[in-house]
Every structure is written in C-alpha cells, then in structure tokens.
Amino acid sequence: MSVSYRQPGVVLTDRRFSVPLDHHDPAGERIELYGREVVASDKAGQDLPWLLYLQGGPGFGAHRFVGRQAWLDRALKEYRVLLLDQRGTGASTPANRQTLPLRGGPAEQADYLARFRADSIVRDCEAIRREVTGGAPWTVLGQSFGGFCAVTYLSFAPEGLSAALITGGLPSLDASADDVYDAAYPRIERKVAAHYARYPQDVERARRIAEHLLQHDVVLPNGYRFTVEAFQSLGIMLGRSDGSHRLHFLLEDAFVRTPRGPALSDAFQEEVQGMLSYAGHPLYALLHEAIYGQDPGPTDWAAERVRARFPQFDAAKTLTGDGPLLFTGESVHPWMFENDPALRPLRETAEDLARERGWAPLYDPDRLAVNEVPVAAAIYHDDMYVDTAHSLRTARAVRGLRTWVTDEFEHDGVRAGGPRVLDRLLALARDEE
C-alpha cells in the first residue's frame, strides 16, 4: 500500500515493487525495491511525465532530499520524479553482513551479489516502469554509477527511455578494471598536488599523521583498524566540490597532548570512522570492481595490483624522504575487508567476487552506434572518479549524444550546481542549445 505525505513544496509517496532476483528466471525468487515518488505540491493532481533518478555508487540508496533541494527543484517544474533505491540499497531488500548469511556461505553470497550489477538494475527499471508510467517511456537521470546504468539502459532497453541525462558517469565501453585504475592513479596524484598547492601546511600535517600510524596500532571507537593505507584513502574526498576544504579542516586538528604524548584526538577519530566505514553501503566495496567486469577474466583486486605500478603512493617509502604523502581515491582494496568491522564477515565473499566469474557485457556498442534516444552528458574535466578521456571516447561512440565538458564542477556537480546542471542537460537533450 502506497503512503503519501508532505514536505515543503512537495508531495511524497512511498512506492514498493516486487521484481525477480534473476530476470532470466521470472518465476523464481523475488526481491523488493523501494522508490520515493516526488511531485510539486501545486502539480500533484496533474498528469506529468516521469523522471527516474539513478544514484551513484554502486551500493548507495537514492539521496534523501528535504523539499526541493539541488537539481530536484528544476525537475519538479515538469516531472514526477522517482528516486529509486537500486537493488540491495536503501529501503530495498538489503544486502549486508547481517542479511547475506541467509544466502549460505561465501560462494552462495557471491552468486547472489553477481545479480546486482547494472544489467539487473536496468531490468528492474523496466519491470517497474510499466507499473509506474503505465508503459510510457521515462527520462532517466544518472549520476556517476547511475550514468553507467543509463548507458546500459541505452544498450539493452532503449525503448523504455524518452531521454537519458548523464552527469559524471559516461563509462568506457571496453576498458578493463586494470585500465580504469591505470588511468586513475595519475589523476589522483594531480588532485593531491592541487590540494597541497591550496593548503601547503597540510603537507607536514599529513606526514605527521602517517608517521604516527606507522608507529602505533590505532583502532577507532567502532573497531576499525586505522592504518596508514586507510588514512591515505581519505583522499576520496578530493573528487568532490568541497572535498579539499573538508580534508584540510580534518587534518588541522588531528592531535592532542596527553600524559603519554601526542595522540589522535577523539574528535578526529570520530570523524574519520564515519568517513571510512562501509556499514551503510557495503555493496560499494563488494561490487565496485565488478561494475567494470565485462569479460571472462577476473578483476582480481585490480586497484591493489595497479597501485604497485605507482610506487609514489607507498607511504613508508615517502616518509624515508621529505616528499609529500600521496592520498588515494576511489578504489577498493583487500585490507578494507580486514580493517572495517562491517566488511570483515564478507572477506571471503569479496575474494570470490574478485575471482574469475565470466562477467557478461554491460554495453552494446553496435546498438549505441545507432541510438535514437536523445542523450546529454555532463563530463567534468579531470573528474577524479571517471576518466575524462574514457568518457569522451564513449560520447563519440553513442549516436546523437551531446556533451557539456566543464571544469566548473567536480564529480558532484549535479548536487553542488543546484538546478543549473539539470537545466543545461535538458536543453542539450532537446536541442535547445
């Protein structure tokens, strides 16, 4: 039963859907999806076209807006919006350390999670579209991984789309996970250099924290083992609009004086554990490299293997000299499943997913080459999370796709830019610019 309620300027309706776990076996096991319908208060009774929002990730539920924040304000001028919690996320049937043992052991859990990639998400969208729109096509807005899903949608079910709007999420159609990280580490290094140019005092602060972590075993209040590699991974913030500033504020108050000497402050540890924990989004860690898998070969912890090709990221070696410590970015490593108490029970499952699974292709280049759906994509120049060269190559491979390449925003431009990013993408898709 649907439940409707109000926030300032909007009417919200909770929607729940039943879909097959395996769309190749529609009579088999089913899981639940949750979506939040949003419509402007003054348009609640109108027959409006639908916009489907696909959140970035993988593994994150749709953003919980209050009222008409960010891009949602622009969308509500003409659409009903469905904020979908993709399978396994948010209020949809959960997949985490608490629920996955219901599937059996690590091998059974990995087999279950293999059905949580973009191809299954698109089939979910098609299954619920008929119920939501009565069969009419809808516009999809995909942020980051949601943009990857939009390209999969264009590949396998373009008849379900009236338009596709992609922001920070044009994937390579053929790059392996190794290719993705070979391109990523130099980008990350540039972002770190830009941070230190803005905040040169952070060079010494970061080195001091790293030295402390190499000399002490630090366990955060939630049980997270805070190693130097974990500290470096906080560089993931540098791909966001306010990330460099947030990292600076975090570093400036890291230590306090104690009877036993300098120690990492409780306030610092409390903030760090919230940034590092995967308790709220374990699928991000479990499936992150699988979103790049499109061939019979294993992903095999690509980010960890490729990092070894970039020795400048080795903290211990850095601290033997006087150079700046390099942070890392959007990557998942085996040690995360040892350090994070929310991931420890899933270590064997993650190992199984990293082994050879014969991943099916997620994109159809031939179909994209004859695409007829209006598509517009915002490509953020030197995006830390999605390689610009990969995105531009894909843009050229999708017939009719129009791009907006900009360095005005970081990866989270659709949030930080308010209505402007969505307004620009709609204009491009409609050939108004």
Burial tier of 305 (Cβ tally within 10 Å: 0-12, 13-18, 19+): middle
Angle of helix 347-354 relative to helix 106-113, nearest 10 degrees, comes to 60
205 closest CA partner among 250, 251, 258, 263:
251
* Nearest Cα to Cα of residue 415 among 140, 86, 125, 144: 144
The catalytic position among 92, 120, 144, 233 is 144
User: Can the peptide bond before residue 221 be classed as cis, meaning omega within 30 degrees of 0?
Assistant: no
Beta carbons within 8 Å of 81's beta carbon, 6+ residues apart? 37, 38, 39, 50, 51, 52, 53, 72, 75
Verify whether residue 144 is a known catalytic residue.
yes
Residue-level length of the chain: 433
CA-derived radius of gyration, the chain: 22
Query: Which of 202, 333, 411, 412 is labelled catalytic?
Result: 411
| C-alpha span between 116 and 88 (Å, rounded) | 7
Please check whether residue 122 is in contact with residue 157, taking contact to mean a CB–CB distance below 8 angstroms.
yes
Annotated active-site residue 390? The verdict is: no
Query: Alpha helices, DSSP H only, in 277-400?
Result: 282-287, 302-307, 315-319, 336-339, 347-354, 365-369, 388-397
Q: CA 281 to CA 97: how far, in whole Å? A: 11
CA pair distance 250, 256, nearest whole angstrom: 13
Structure tokens at 105: 């052991």
Strands lying side by side in the sheet with 138-143: 3-7, 10-20, 30-40, 80-85, 50-54, 138-143, 161-167, 375-380, 401-406
User: Is 3 exposed, middle or buried (CB count within 10 Å of its CB: 0-12, 13-18, 19+)?
Assistant: exposed
**Residue at 254: amino acid letter:** A
In whole angstroms, how far apart are CA 72 and each of 93, 239, 381, 422?
A: 25, 22, 24, 9
Catalytic residue among 73, 352, 383, 412: 383
Rounded Cα distance between 356 and 337, Å, is 19
Is 51:81 a contact under the CB 8 Å cutoff? yes
**In this structure, are residues 409 and 380 in contact, taking their beta carbons and an 8 Å threshold?**
yes
Active-site residue, 383 included: yes
Q: Which residue intervals of 216-253 are DSSP H helices? A: 228-232, 243-252
| Active-site amino acid positions | 144, 383, 411
